Amino acid sequence: MSTHATTNSSEIRDTADAPLRRRARGPRRPAWRTALFMVGIIGIIAMFFVPLYWLFSSAFKPQDAIYTWPLQWIPTEPTLANFAEAWSTAPFDRFYLNSIITTVVGTGLEILLAILCAYAFAFVEFRFKRIVFVLIIASMMLPGHVTLIVNYITVANLGWLNTYQGLILPGIASAFAMFLLLQHMRTIDVDIMKAAEIDGAGHLRRMMTIAVPLSSPMILTAGLIVMAGKWNEYVWPLIVTSTTDMRTLPIGLLFLCSQEGYSNWGAIMAGTVFVSLPMLVLFFLGQKRIIGGLAAGALK
């Protein structure tokens, strides 16, 4: 509804401004400048594409094609041997399982907490709301490395070292996702909530039938961002797990590197593909949402 309204108004503005803008853009930019810009844009693509291409192409190269000079840009005999080698050197099946469990459960819990919290801030009255809000948002400024040692002690005292709850629970507190959801819930029409209230729907009912469905796009966005963060998490799984079968993928990659002596680049790049691919797929599927959500968080 609101999106409809905004597109309408911007369309109106666009058509009103059209003659002005046509004069300002287009013909005013000389061809040499356009060419310069295009060179810049191709430069950007090269800067980011070449390393990523290097990662994937190396993973498919046989050993002798990697240790050669001049560099071989396109694998002449692509092979899957590196993937097999990486998978047999390190238990990637366990790493995948651990990463999936911690990411899915952790994301679910964090988003649940974020929804409850955002709903309370948006729709429930409380005198000291502002203080609580500042307390939660300010926690984003506390660097993870400052909390690392004591959280390790806490988890050790609970007997949770090297367990899934130890991996997951310290990370479920939500400030950024809560903020994103709150921003979105604030745009929900108050009249709908009032009407439901007069009809006798309690807060829980209003949350489940109005607030959550209306915020579902933002919940999905926040979920994707949180999910990427959990999948990529490094330092906490590194210190809280101690056996290879409890490691997550990023730590598994460190394990693979040391097993391969930081020198069998084909297998190491194949392992890097294992770790990266799910995030790249997630990104290409949900690109608009992820970028939109992060930009919304930054631009307020």
Partner 1 sequence: MTTSTRRSPSSRTAAPSGARPTDAANGLSTAAVHGANSTEAPGSTGHPPHRGNDAIRARTEQRRRSPQRRRRTRRDAALFLALVAPNLVAILVFSYYPSLYNIGLSFTEWDFVEPTPEWVGLENYQDLFTDPAFGQVLLNTLIFTGVSVVGSIIGGILLGSLLATKLPLTGFAQTMAFAPHMLPGAAVGTLWLFIFDPNYGLSRWLFSLVGASSPAWTTTSDWSLWAITIAYTWQRLGFVTVICYTAILDLPRDIYEAAALDGAHGWTLLRHMTLPLLSPITFFLSITGVISAAQAFDIISIMTGGGPGNSSSTLSWMVYEEAFQKFDIGSASAAATILLVILLILTFVQVRVGEKKVNYDS
Task: Kindly tell me which residue out of 58, 82, 98, 107 binds partner 1, with binding defined by CB under 8 A.
Answer: 58
Stretch that binds partner 1, among 46-54, 79-87, 100-108, 209-217 (CB under 8 A): 46-54
Choices 74-82, 86-94, 152-160, 212-220 (CB under 8 A): range interacting with partner 1: 152-160
Cβ 34 to partner 1, closest distance in Å? 7
Q: How far is the CB of 19 from partner 1 (least distance, A)?
A: 11
Interface pick for partner 1 out of 92, 98, 107, 114 (rule CB under 8 A): 114
Scanning residues 72 to 111, which ones bind partner 1 (CB under 8 A)? none
Using CB under 8 A as the binding rule, whether residue 45 contacts partner 1 is answered as yes
Q: Which is nearer to partner 1, 219 or 253 (CB)?
A: 253
Rounded to whole angstroms, the Cα distance separating 248 from 233 reads 9
Q: How far, in Å, are 3, 16, 41, 152 from residue 12 at the CA level?
A: 14, 6, 31, 57
CA 66 to chain centre: 32
Whether the link from the prior residue into 213 is cis, omega within 30° of 0, is no
Among 1, 5, 31, 44, binds partner 1 (CB under 8 A): 44
Contact segment (CB under 8 A) with partner 1 among 76-84, 87-95, 125-133, 215-223 equals 125-133
Subset of 257-276 contacting partner 1 (CB under 8 A): 257, 262, 265, 268-269, 271-272, 275-276
Q: Which stretch binds partner 1 (CB under 8 A): 26-34, 78-86, 100-108, 213-221?
A: 26-34
Name the residue nearer to partner 1 (CB basis): 34 or 88: 34
> According to CB under 8 A, which residues from 225 to 254 bind partner 1?
228, 231-232, 234-235, 238-239, 249-251, 253-254
Q: Could you give the CA distance from residue 99 to residue 62 in angstroms, rounded to a whole number?
A: 29
Cβ proximity to partner 1: between 55 and 220 the closer is 55
Give the footprint of partner 1 on residues 188-227 (CB under 8 A).
Answer: 194, 197-198, 203
Q: Give the nearest distance from C-beta 4 to partner 1 in angstroms.
A: 20
Q: How far is the CB of 18 from partner 1 (least distance, A)?
A: 11
